[in-house]
Structure 1
C-alpha cells in the first residue's frame, strides 16, 4: 500500500510563506506605525491651519461644504473633516481645493497671509455664482455628457432669444 501525502492548501490566498512569516505579518499588522510625536503635532497643526483657511475661503466665496466637495471630487463628509482639521488633504486634493475656493495653496497651508492676492482670485459676477439655484444648475450640468450639454445650450439660447 502506497502512502499518499496530503497537502493542505491555504484558502486565504497565501503566497506559500512559512508559518513563522505569517505569524510575524499578523503581529506587525496590528502595530501602529512609529511616527514621532513631534511629526504628529506638526501634521495636526497643519490640518487645523488648512481647515480654517479653507473654511474662511469657502465663506468668502459664498459656497456650501457640499458645493466645494462636489467641485473637488470628494464626499461632503470628507470635506467637512478636512475643514474641521481632522484630516489632511492629499496634494492633488489641495490643488483642486485652491482652484475651487479661488485661494492660493500657500494661503491654505498657512505659508502666505490670508486674503493675499492670488493668481486664482478672479472676479466672478455675483449674479452668476451666488444664488443656490445657479449652483444647483451648474452641479446638474456637470453630470451631463457632451451632446446633452450642447442640447442644453440650444435650449438656453432659445429661451434667451424668446
Structure 2
C-alpha cells in the first residue's frame, strides 16, 4: 500500500513546528508519546503516518489541535497566531537527555554515578569556601 505522502508530510511539518515552538527535542516528544526517537524523526520527515492513538498523544504532547496537525485547518487561522498556552518551566534539553541516560543504568552503575556526582558537588563547595576564605580580609 502506498504511503499518502501529502498527509504524512503535512503531519510531519506541523509536528516539527509545534515541537520547536514548545522548545522540545525529538527525544523529548518521542519519550512522551511512546515512540523510539528514530521513529519520531521519520514521522517528522513525512516518512510515516502515526496510528490514531499516537496521533492523539502527539496532539496532547505538542498542544496542537488535531485539525491543524492533519492539515484540515490552516495553522495561521487558529494555532500559530494565538499565544502559546502557559507551559510549566522545564529542565534544559541537556538535563532531560542526562535523565533519560541515567534511567538506563543498572543499580550498581547508578550508585557509582551518584557517588561521583556527590563528590563533585562537595569538591565545588570546598573550592568555593576556600575562595571565600582567601577573599576575606585578614584579622
Deviation at residue 130 of structure 1 after TM alignment:
5.7
Q: Answer yes or no: is 1:47 the counterpart of 2:11.
A: no
Q: Cα 1:114–1:88, aligned 2, differ >3 Å: closer, same or farther?
A: same
Q: Pick from 32, 50, 58: which aligns with 1:89? A: 50
**What is the rounded CA distance, in whole Å, between the counterparts of 2:63 and 2:40 in structure 1?**
16
- Structure-2-length-normalised TM-score: 0.61
Where does residue 34 of structure 2 map in the other structure? Answer: 73
Is the contact made by 2:12 and 2:43 (CA closer than 8 Å) also made in structure 1? yes
Partner of 2:75: 114
* Alpha-carbon separation, structure 2, partners of 1:124 and 1:138: 20
Distance 1:122 1:138 in 2: 26
Superposed displacement of residue 138, structure 1 = 7.6
User: For the pair shown, which has the larger CA radius of gyration, 1 or 2?
Assistant: 1
Q: Any unmatched runs of 5+ in structure 2? A: 105-139
Q: Does 1:124 align with 2:124?
A: no
Distance 1:84 1:104 in 2: 20
State the SS of the aligned residue for 1:93. Answer: helix
* Deviation sequence 1:31-64 (CA, Å, 0-9, x none): xxxx5xxxx47x1100000000000000000000
Q: Which has the higher contact order (CA 8 A, sep 6+)?
A: 2
Using the alignment, how far apart are the partners of 2:54 and 2:100 within structure 1? 19
CA RMSD of aligned residues (A): 2.8
The 8 Å contact of residues 69 and 79 in structure 1, kept in 2 or not, is answered as yes
CA contact (8 A) 1:62 1:130 kept: no
What is the aligned length?
100
